[in-house]
Homo-oligomer: A and B are copies of this chain.
Amino acid sequence: MSRCRIDLGRIEEWVKAKRFKKILIQVPPGLWPEAVTVSEFLKKAGVETIIHGGSCWGGCDVAYFEAKSLKLDAIIHMGHSRFLERDEVPTYYLECRYMDPEPLKSLLGEIKDRLSGCKRIGVGLTVQWLDFLDELLTWLRNIGFEPYVGEPIGVLRYRGQVLGCNYHPLLKLEKIVDCYLVIGSIFHGLGLALQTRKPTYAGDPCTQRIVKLEEHVKKLLKSRYSYIQEFRNARRIGILLSVKPGQRRVKLAVKLRRIIEEAGKISEIVVVDDVEEDHLLDLPHEAFVNTACPRLSIEDQNRFKK
């Protein structure tokens, strides 16, 4: 049984209305069982499906290229809400929201204990948990908190939503709240913790853990500082530019190259899809500036030896 709310009828409606015959199904690894359910359902409905076997890092990473390359009619992109304004290939964003609120509810006791010093809490949830936003707010009020949520803006399509690269709505609450609670993973909380001075907690219903991110931030900033020092000494700098539809920052890359060259260093723009350690090691550059996913420079920096 699927853990997610997947309305197969609505998918079928969309496919039939648009007369799509060949569909690419793209999914992050955790959602394979759900992808197979969708694929088998569509096959039975007479639609040809092809599964995307590469990475899938977010709504910024839609497999338009693969779909176009194989002349497919449309994409079903699972696990993320729409990130891009326009799709190069018709794309159905199947958000895969969890159906069972229990894991979220059973976090409440620990939330009450661990966040006891806070009264006003800025609350954010990943799209998977968004169906339970209102319930969560009620639960939090019932145990004495005063929760606040951000309103949708830009790539954040829903009230209360967080993405690993965008926390604007929560940061707008900075002066109101005492602390933040991000429901999702440590990854999702950490992105916010790095941008605020307010205490930030990550609450993960899957692991049943509440983590205060203070120590994580200190450790990260310390290592970032040493990377910055190393970067200063590098002479040949590669500027990483992604081809992923939502990470393709050409103007920024060109601007950075100009700045770096004006600083007397040698610089090349290096185009990549996934940023792979092996490729960076092989390249002749001593250091890299990243214009792709901002989280690469945070979580994955120590994966990369330069």
Show the binding face of A for B, using Cβ within 8 Å. Answer: 24, 29, 32-33, 35-36, 39, 49-55, 63, 65-66, 69-70, 238, 240-241, 243, 248, 250, 268-273, 276, 279-280, 282-284
A14 to B84, CA, bound (A): 38
What are 9 contact pairs spanning A and B, CB under 8 A?
Answer: A51-B270, A51-B271, A51-B283, A53-B238, A53-B272, A53-B280, A63-B271, A69-B243, A70-B250
Q: Are A282 and B243 in contact (CB under 8 A)?
A: no
Q: Are B284 and A33 in contact (CB under 8 A)?
A: yes
Q: Are B50 and A269 in contact (CB under 8 A)?
A: yes
A270 to B25, CA, bound (A): 9
- Most B CB contacts (10 A, CB to CB) among A52, A268, A272 go to A268
Q: Which one, B63, B70, B238, contacts A241 given CB within 8 A?
A: B70
Q: Are B69 and A268 in contact (CB under 8 A)?
A: no
A271 to B75, CA, bound (A): 13
Could you list 17 further interchain pairs (A-B, Cβ under 8 angstroms) beyond the known A51-B268, A53-B272, A66-B273?
A: A29-B279, A32-B282, A36-B268, A36-B284, A39-B268, A50-B271, A51-B269, A51-B271, A52-B271, A53-B238, A53-B280, A55-B279, A65-B65, A65-B69, A66-B243, A69-B248, A273-B273
A35 to B270, CA, bound (A): 12
Interface residue SS majority, chain A: mixed
A63 to B69, CA, bound (A): 13
**Which residues in B have their C-beta under 8 angstroms from that of A54?**
271-273, 276, 279
A54 to B242, CA, bound (A): 11
A231 to B227, CA, bound (A): 47
A276 to B36, CA, bound (A): 20
Q: Are B241 and A50 in contact (CB under 8 A)?
A: yes
**Which residues in B have their C-beta under 8 angstroms from that of A250?**
70
Q: Are A32 and B283 in contact (CB under 8 A)?
A: yes
A54 to B226, CA, bound (A): 27
A240 to B50, CA, bound (A): 10
